[in-house]
Amino acid sequence: MDAELEFAILSDATGKQLFEQVIKIMGLREVWYFGLQYTDTKGFLTWLKLDKKVSSQEVKQENPLQFKFRTKYYPEDVTEELIQDITINLFFLQVKEGILRDEIYCSPETAVLLASYSVQAKFGDHSPEIHRPGYLMSERHLPQRVLDQHELSKEQLEERIQIWHEEHRGMLKKDALLEYLKISQDLEMYGVTYFNIKNKKGTDLWLGVDALGLNIYEKEERLTPKIEFLWNEIRGISFSDKKFKIKPIDKKAPDFVFYTSRQRINKHIHQLCMGNHELYLQRRKPDTLEVQHMKAQAREEKHQRQMERTQLETEKKKREAIEKERERVEKENQEMMMKLLQFEEQTKKFERDLKEQFERARILEEDRRRVEVEAARLEAERQEALMAKEELARQAEDQRKHQEQLAAELAEYTAKFALLEEARRIKEEEASEWQNRAKEIQDDLEKTREELQHVMLSPVAAAPMAVPMSRAMMEGPLENDHDDQEENNSTYSAELHVEVIEDHCNEEERITEAEKNEHVQKQLMVTRLNLSKALLHKMTKNDILHNENVQAGRDKYNTLRQIGMGSTKQRTDEFETL
């Protein structure tokens, strides 16, 4: 399912030798649940017989020969029985495959919840920085039936899985896989192998073989069994050709007889019954030394993981505190940098203003010089005018005779003199005003220089920089229909060993994981409500049957309790009336 392994075996190697090579490579010790499956020359799936040579079995001739390492028997309670991590992982892979292929019916809301545990086991805690939108698109997480039934895109379904994924923060991989299996084992079709059978009336029915016993289903539905026979009610099993007979412990009850279409099916049923019955009894006995040792080792490993997890949580909190401190320091640094940038901007502004003032002062100085030059020119003209006036006065004295002739010229010169005097006075006032402005600008310039010098000499506190810290049963073979021809009409029977044992499994009192865990109930209820809003009403028969069971308050275990009521004789008689 998850990997391919290639082995070299001798031509006379037995199935057991090949099986032992496989489990040795995998490091698997809970071998009683598993077997090697192959496709025979007629296209039927068959279990490899461990006590016979591989070459003598009708394996489809390919190079190399193809086998599948598969779960053959299921536990009653994964939490109590599965020990090794590799065993839990192998069960998870096969159950997940069965759910995705719709071989095990799973309601939409349960499928979404299971997918979130699968994602937690693969990706660990959800992180927005790492798990970007689309991170679930690389593989399939939901049955195609669920995708087809709801008017939701893959992105929307991914979002619903992600919501529950975020809630599983801190859950280790093994714990996520166990949560997946704990919920999966409550599914009605989990761990059941179905066979098409008929009763004496010829009614087509389904026989379901599982860890607890035998269940009878009507032909049209394999979700809710109608009759149940537990393994502790069965004394012996046998078959002859297509007829299969079960002897109950209750001597008042008749034999339970059904028929199949071919002998090879009866061989398959016989083998599964023998194996499941043996495991059923074994679970109700004290653990063997090997199992005790494995459980002790598992407890020690669990304790070690818990210690490591506690240490990891402590380190995580320390890292978070350091990260918060680093963020605080970075924030302070950013604020300080902002202040520094503002200071630099102010300094540049002061420099620009200073340059502008220098430029204005230069312009004013040039204007002042121009005014002085103009004033000097006017003063020269005034002196010339005075000299001209004196000269005219002398000429007037000398030429008094010509006073009338020169009166006009005198009046003209007098008027010109008056205009020049007025112009000189105005220029002097302007020069005085420019001098005053130049003095004020010079004073402002000196004051600006002093302020700039004071700002430039003020100390700027350096922000401290934080340095982030680095962190670091073994069971016999399954008979098939390709044995020697003399076996075709043989009769096979077996007396099932029944002991007086203390049954501590209490399957009659068992409840589902959802009933035990209020949080799981809430998760399923919320998801069911959300998905119902996008339902396209493309419901299958199993969907309808499941919803009817939910509305009637029926689940896998109370259904088994109900159909197991009454005597063995009553249930056998009921089977014959179906």
Residue positions in the annotated binding site? 49-52, 267
Reduced to 3 states (helix: H, G, I; strand: E, B; else coil), residue 359 is: helix
Q: What HEC string does 104-128 produce? A: CCCCHHHHHHHHHHHHHHHHCCCCC
Sign of CA dihedral 423, 426, 432, 434: negative
At position 173, the amino acid (one-letter code) is: K
**DSSP reduced 3-state for 482:** coil
CA angle (35 as vertex; 72, 196 as ends), nearest 5 = 40
Residues 568/232, Cβ–Cβ less than 8 Å: no
Q: For residues 356 and 359, what is the distance between their CA atoms, to the nearest angstrom?
A: 5
* Contact in structure between 90 and 30 (CB atoms under 8 Å): no
Range 492-526 burial, b when 16+ CB lie within 10 A, else e: beeebeeeeeeeebebeebebbbeeeeebeebbeb
Spatial separation of the C-alpha atoms in residues 20 and 447, rounded to whole Å: 97
Look at residue 213 and give its three-state secondary structure: strand
Nearest in space to 351 (alpha carbons), one of 457, 460, 459, 456: 456
